[in-house]
Structure 1
Amino acid sequence: MIPIKPIHSRSSEATSLEAANAFLKPGALHLTALPPLSLYVHFPWCMRKCPYCDFNSHEVKNGFPEDEYLAALRSDLESALPLIWGRKVYTVFIGGGTPSLMSAAGLDRLMSDIRTLLPLDGAAEITMEANPGTFESEKFKSYRTSGINRLSIGIQSFNARHLEALGRIHDDNEAKRAVEIAHANFDNFNLDLMYALPTQSIDEARQDVSIAIGFAPPHLSLYHLTLEPNTYFAKYPPVVPDDDASAEMQDMIQQFTSEAGYQHYEVSAYARLRRQARHNLNYWEFGDYLGIGAGAHSKISFPHRIVRQMRYKQPKAYLDQVKLGGQVQEEFEIERSDLGFEFMLNALRLNGGFEPNLFAERTGLTLNTIEKSLNEAEAKGLLYRDHKVIRPTELGRRFLNDLQQMFLN
């Protein structure tokens, strides 16, 4: 673990350069410009832990310490400011857990603290995850007034039997009601759905997608259910559709979304014109993000290095450590030899790929550092490239994991 000493900005640009150069060492990076910056806020509580979920979420049993946690988030953000001094924030994402468990007053307090401490872009995308089981019309009107301008709703399915199998706290009627409330209060929202669910048929998957498209959401996220390690489903695997059935569902999704006018721009993301998830795009294009809250991750660039951080995961440990000023459990500098893989791991998820010069802008390295892997991937028909774009082919998208691993050092 490499200890990290933040660069504190003062009044003169020269002072900042001197501070940056103080960390210059053999093999240091040379970023000509810092990438766009996002803020991620983690809310770690939910009503019930779903059997497929491997996120940092913890069941609410006797309530949760909202005021204490909001105070900790502010302290966390204040202590991180020297790392991002003077940089504008273009997107905010409040995820979990179930952030929509927060009271309207609590969310308003959080947004007020963010606006007070950070220079938010005037057109910032501010997204909040929400669970249909927590939807209340008046509360979501208040969320909108507080500054949330995009919702991401965890529908997962419109089928009551599948929702029960997934351990969701809402039923099919609540799922539909949640979308109606979102429509009434937000002009930008995402619906999260899953397919290849336990015992799900192709017709049932088709019905889920049809209902979702019928609501005309600006954005859809359609995820293949995976049995992640350390989850209930991993320990007690349910019967799920086989590979052929899953592939048929994927083809159906591609057809239905395309016919409805959605662009399939990332592995699991479909959007109407100019409705791509800007926060997620920043991740996939290897942008920067500051993460605050229990278990939140950060990636922050400096002129000659790129740093990752992780906060303490357990809510109690996080709250205790914030009081001591030590909420960052792990921090390290990304090794030069790992940057090519880390960039490609993200950027190859984009169906349209990326412009070749983006690699140098975001990593501080020349494209020659991954030339051998690019040539190999191109020779195998997994990658297309010219002077304008580098992108996975249709075959590369089908075997994305294999393609990404070709850039592993």
Structure 2
Amino acid sequence: MHWPFCAAKCPYCDFNSHVHRGPFDEDAYIESYLTEINQTAQLVPDRTVRSIFFGGGTPSLMQPQSVEKIINAISTKWQLSNDVEITLEANPTSVEADKFQAIRLAGVNRVSLGVQSLRTEPLAALGRLHSVDDAIKAVELAQSIFDRVSYDLIYARPNQTLDEWRQELTQALNLARDHISLYALTIESGTRYYDLFRAGKLKMPDGELSAQFYELTQEICESFGLPAYEISNHAMPGEESRHNLTYWQYGEYAGIGPGAHGRLLIDGKRHATSTERMPFKWDEYVSKKGDGFVEFDALTAGEQGDEYLLMGLRLKTGISPIRFEALAGQKLKQQQVDHLTEIGFVQILEDGNLRVTDKGWPVLDAVVADLAA
């Protein structure tokens, strides 16, 4: 469930998020979500929903009754599993934190908080609207209300030192409970940070320092009992994000809302779907034809194999070569596997899965490209 609106656009963010000013009829807008849910359910009926993820944008800006309407609509079109995971992304401002109890009553049982830093100056540089105190209070409040809580931090920031990150991450892990997401800052085209970087006004860590940041992150998280299960996500065993595992394990999921992506199995074929990115244009599409799809394509075997590599190799558990062959219609190229094994970037696990090693994770994109070549 993609909610595209934010209170402000962060300078590093290339997500499909928009700042809307002026009157807004949220109730009418939510009706388009309900319509698109209904249309999608007709394409893929008789499914069990194991997770719902409200992402953004900033879905905590929604009214709790809007969240409840969407959850109720999903439950009427598909069956929810008994242990369904329902996550909502939230920013830790006091205004949004005030909604936590109502959001829990609406059916959300897990929140993911966009903290991003526990230091004042980096928060301002990252364009965040909350303070460090707001963040700590929001995490503690969320932990008292929701079954499961995660939050995000960004590291390898401009001018950040390893010692500064060690101290900040240690504080963060003392505050965390069972899951945390840690993202190395990347410069994405189309963002304010990209313009500053191109102009030489933003100094980023070089490759060697970036690798040291990554290694330090793994070391500290493992010492706290939250090892990485995916390249940027850490959890106690059993507390992994079930929703994100669906992506990384190349499962089936529906994308609802502006700019949402999906992978749907229809008549035995995997289809890639995406919806119109602009919020009010998406709304017009839904009003006219029942959905906002701008892409609805059956994927070739080769495309499925490449996607499985791209997603699955992010996981500590790796990919199944047998499943790759079933999806791609061909085996992994043994020559590439042997070469990457020899230089220590991949390994074969006891269950037969192929995984990227800790040494290979910092150059994951290159490993995937080599295997997909």
Q: TM-score range by the shorter chain?
A: over 0.9
Give, in angstroms, the shift of residue 294 of structure 1: 0.4
SS, match of residue 284 in structure 2 = helix
The count of residues paired between Structure 1 and Structure 2 equals 367
User: CA deviation digits over 1:119-160, x for unaligned, max 9?
Assistant: 111111111000012555552111111111111100000111
Give the one of 97, 105, 108 matched to 1:145: 105
Give the one of 248, 261, 264 matched to 2:212: 248
SS, match of residue 243 in structure 2 = helix
- Aligned AA (2:370): M
Q: Is the 8 A contact 1:381 1:395 kept in 2?
A: yes
Give the one of 95, 106, 109 matched to 2:55: 95
Give, in angstroms, the shift of residue 406 of structure 1: 1.6
Greater Cα shift, 339-348 or 111-120: 111-120
Q: Does 1:337 align with 2:297?
A: no
Greater Cα shift, 176-185 or 351-360: 351-360
User: CA deviation digits over 1:205-247, x for unaligned, max 9?
Assistant: 2222112111132111100000100111111122233333333
Q: Does 1:121 align with 2:55?
A: no
CA distance, structure 2, for counterparts of residue 304 and residue 136 of structure 1: 42
Q: Does 1:351 align with 2:311?
A: no
Identity level (%): 34
Partner of 1:294 in structure 2? 258
CA distance, structure 1, for counterparts of residue 347 and residue 163 of structure 2: 35
SS, match of residue 176 in structure 2 = coil
CA distance, structure 2, for counterparts of residue 99 and residue 63 of structure 1: 18
Partner of 1:279 in structure 2? 243
Structure 2 residue ranges without an equivalent (≥5): none
Q: Is the 8 A contact 1:266 1:351 kept in 2?
A: yes
Q: Is the 8 A contact 1:160 1:172 kept in 2?
A: yes
SS, match of residue 298 in structure 1 = strand
| RMSD after superposition | 1.9
Q: Does 1:227 align with 2:187?
A: yes
Give the one of 379, 383, 406 matched to 2:346: 383
Q: Is the 8 A contact 1:290 1:297 kept in 2?
A: yes
CA distance, structure 2, for counterparts of residue 348 and residue 247 of structure 1: 18
SS, match of residue 217 in structure 2 = helix
Partner of 1:179 in structure 2? 139
Give, in angstroms, the shift of residue 42 of structure 1: 0.3
Which structure ranks higher in relative contact order (CA pairs < 8 Å, sequence separation ≥ 6)? 1
Partner of 1:37 in structure 2? none
Q: Is the 8 A contact 2:274 2:296 kept in 1?
A: yes
SS, match of residue 274 in structure 1 = coil
- Aligned AA (1:43): W
Q: Is the 8 A contact 2:263 2:273 kept in 1?
A: yes
SS, match of residue 182 in structure 2 = strand
Give, in angstroms, the shift of residue 110 of structure 1: 1.9
CA distance, structure 1, for counterparts of residue 323 and residue 15 of structure 2: 30
CA distance, structure 1, for counterparts of residue 189 and residue 77 of structure 2: 38
Q: Does 1:154 align with 2:154?
A: no
Q: Is the 8 A contact 1:45 1:64 kept in 2?
A: no
Partner of 2:277 in structure 1? 313
Partner of 1:27 in structure 2? none
Q: Is the 8 A contact 2:301 2:329 kept in 1?
A: no
Q: Does 1:260 align with 2:224?
A: yes
Structure 1 residue ranges without an equivalent (≥5): 1-40
CA distance, structure 1, for counterparts of residue 332 and residue 266 of structure 2: 20
CA distance, structure 2, for counterparts of residue 335 and residue 58 of structure 1: 33
CA distance, structure 1, for counterparts of residue 371 and residue 343 of structure 2: 14
Give, in angstroms, the shift of residue 76 of structure 1: 0.6
Partner of 1:48 in structure 2? 8
SS, match of residue 68 in structure 1 = helix
Q: Is the 8 A contact 1:270 1:276 kept in 2?
A: yes
CA distance, structure 2, for counterparts of residue 152 and residue 400 of structure 1: 25
SS, match of residue 252 in structure 1 = helix
Q: Is the 8 A contact 1:89 1:119 kept in 2?
A: yes
SS, match of residue 270 in structure 1 = strand
Partner of 2:166 in structure 1? 206
CA 1:408–1:208 in 2, change beyond 3 Å: closer, same or farther?
A: same
TM-score by length of 1: 0.85
